[in-house]
Amino acid sequence: MRPDDRKYTRTHEWVKIDGDSALVGITDFAVQELCSGNEGDLVYCDLPEPGRALEVGETFGEIESVKAVADLNAPIAGTVLEVNVEIEEHLEVLANDPFGRGWMVKIQPKSKSIDGSDLLDAAAYEKHVATQEH
């Protein structure tokens, strides 16, 4: 089971409310789809500049492996406060700790609550992933 202290998107991002701000990253499933467990095959991650305003679902960056590129989509609306610069140099962090040290951006949410949105809880995300596994 994936962490239940956060919400998930159908496109495999997660968002975790952390005080007044929110952390956003991608799930282990997303990382697996990109590199099949070979973190050395991740080649690049493009993250936004702090200060950028994001709408729900807006593409805020891209992650790239040897054979594929995937969009990073904002789970919630808000303003980028900070990006995780460690990722740009150490993409393996995404494979090793996608829900912790592998966070990508810290956002100032536009709205205080993320309840009632289209986001999935951990159990619902688990079911969603099960439909995608080959």
Partner 1 sequence: MKKTSLHDTHVELGARLVDFGGWRMPVQYGSILDEVKTVRTAAGLFDLGHMGRFRVEGPDAVALVDRVATNHCARIPVGAIRYSLFCTAEGFPIDDLLIYRDPAGVFLVVNASNTPADLAWLRAHSGGLDARVVDETEETAMLAIQGPRALEILRRVASGGDLDGLRYYRFAFGTVCGLPKTRISRTGYTGEDGFEVYLPFAEGPRVWRELLAAGSAAGLRPIGLGARDTLRLEAGMPLYGHEIDGEHDPLEAGLAFGIAFTPEKGDFVGRAALEGRRDRPSARRLVGITTAGPRVPRRGYPLFQGMDEVGVVCSGSMSPTIATNIATAYVARGRDVPGQELELEIRDRRQPCTVCELPFYSRTRKTQR
Q: Which residue has the tokens 């159990």?
A: 123
Report the C-alpha gap between 118 and 26 in whole angstroms.
17
Residue type (1 letter), 84: N
Q: Which of 58, 64, 82, 92 binds partner 1 (CB under 8 A)?
A: 64
CB contact burial 101-121 (16+ within 10 A = b; e otherwise): ebbbbbbebeeeebeeeebbe
* Cβ 37 to partner 1 shortest distance, Å: 8
Q: Would you call 40 helix, strand, or coil by DSSP?
A: helix
> Is residue 58 close enough to count as binding partner 1 by CB under 8 A?
no
Cβ closer to partner 1: 46 or 126? 46
Q: Would you call 93 helix, strand, or coil by DSSP?
A: helix
How big is the site for partner 1, counted in residues (CB under 8 A)? 14
> Is residue 69 close enough to count as binding partner 1 by CB under 8 A?
yes
Maximum Cα–Cα distance for the chain, whole Å?
Answer: 39
Stretch that binds partner 1, among 5-13, 16-24, 62-70, 103-111 (CB under 8 A): 62-70
> Is residue 17 close enough to count as binding partner 1 by CB under 8 A?
no
Cβ closer to partner 1: 21 or 52? 52
- Which residues are at the interface with partner 1 (CB under 8 A)? 35-36, 38, 40-41, 43-44, 46, 62, 64, 66-67, 69, 134
